[in-house]
Structure 1
Amino acid sequence: MPNPISNWITNLKARYRQSKLTTPEKTLNIFKNGVREVDEGHPQKAIKHFSEAIQRSSESAKLHHYRADAYAMDGQYENAIVDYDTAVRLNPSYPDTYLDRGNSHYQLDQLERALKDFSEAIRLKPDWGEAHANRAVIHVELGNPEESATDAETAKTLGVDTAQLEGMLQAAKNAPTSS
């Protein structure tokens, strides 16, 4: 059975160490807690940690991107897009943000916006198979079979699993069209 006094002393020491940290160190610890919560499958807890870190360092594209990822993981795609937009404003040359924002647009059936984001990710990182695969799916849903085939072939040459890609494309072909 755990010793209550020992636990109290351990917690007291941890609080003391935390109080001696600089603001950047505290922010980094809060960020790490958010990452841990994402890894453990707790996006709402992660969002709280990332929000606290953003309060301390609001101009960090990385913090906004991570919180956006947590929002997306929680199905809060509109909130995710707001944070991805901020991350893009703060660091417009990071291709991952465009890919992830494109995925959130896709979840909201905003296909043209998703296409634009995947295209920007590819412009920034032309050898990114995942971005080509995602854009191939969008082209299928938008009725652009030639563009889809080109992106699918590129994705395959860049190492995307062929069977998985074919499954994604087939699911897109079978998806109901938006009105």
Structure 2
Amino acid sequence: MSKVLNALYTLLLSSSLLASPAYSAGSGSYHSNSSTSAEKLYNQGVALMMDKKFSKAEKKFRSAIKKDTSLAEAHNNLAYTLRKQGSKNYKSALTHYNKAINLNPKLPEPYMYRGVLYVQMGDKQRALADHQTLVDMRSPLAAELEYVVKNGREKTPDQFFGVSDKL
């Protein structure tokens, strides 16, 4: 999917036209030179994530990353599924958000979701730094992260913002 379509998709999701349960899930769509096998595993992970089957989705994202280590979106979605499985996974989730950002610094979703994680970890200053990055990127996700920073919690009912489409 082109960057323009990806941006449009993120905008639609941010306006809740495509909102569905489970807040702060994954990345925007991404076409890579990855093998069909990695894409298939990634897409299976997205479907499981959307169904809130986080442990099963985690396994799919890990398998996709083994096939193609350059999938920033897979690292982002893996981090999300880890975060949703509890605080014992926060350190690992942070590692994968950072990896996603290192692989694709122009991808706004990992900044959003890492900011949410920082709020959950009690680190408001780092969350604000990620918010500023989103503002600088002119991402509609900046408003979503701002809400989390101001309120110390995610919106209810849970929503997807910038959820990835299938590859």
Give the TM-score band, short-chain normalised: 0.5 to 0.7
How many equivalent residue pairs? 119
* C-alpha displacement of 1:121: 0.4
CA contact 1:118–1:135 (8 Å) conserved in 2 = yes
CA distance in 2, matches of 1:158, 1:164: 14
Structure 1 residue 87 corresponds to structure 2 residue 67: no
Task: Give the TM-score, by structure 1 length.
Answer: 0.60
Q: Give the aligned partner of residue 146 of structure 1.
A: 125
CA distance in 1, matches of 2:43, 2:153: 32
Structure 1 residue 102 corresponds to structure 2 residue 82: no
Q: 1:163 aligns with which of 117, 132, 143?
A: 143
- CA RMSD of superposed structures (Å): 2.3
Give the AA of the match of 1:159. R
Distance 1:155 1:59, change over 3 A: same
Higher relative contact order (CA 8 A, sep 6+): 2
CA distance in 1, matches of 2:79, 2:150: 20
CA distance in 2, matches of 1:143, 1:103: 17
* C-alpha displacement of 1:81: 0.6
Segments of 5+ residues of structure 1 without an aligned counterpart are: 1-38, 42-57
Higher helix content, 1 or 2: 1
Aligned sequence identity (%): 21
CA distance in 1, matches of 2:37, 2:153: 40
Higher gyration radius (CA): 1
* C-alpha displacement of 1:174: 4.0
Give the AA of the match of 2:95. K
Structure 1 residue 122 corresponds to structure 2 residue 101: yes
CA contact 1:133–1:160 (8 Å) conserved in 2 = no
Task: Give the TM-score, by structure 2 length.
Answer: 0.64
CA distance in 2, matches of 1:67, 1:148: 30
CA distance in 2, matches of 1:67, 1:98: 14
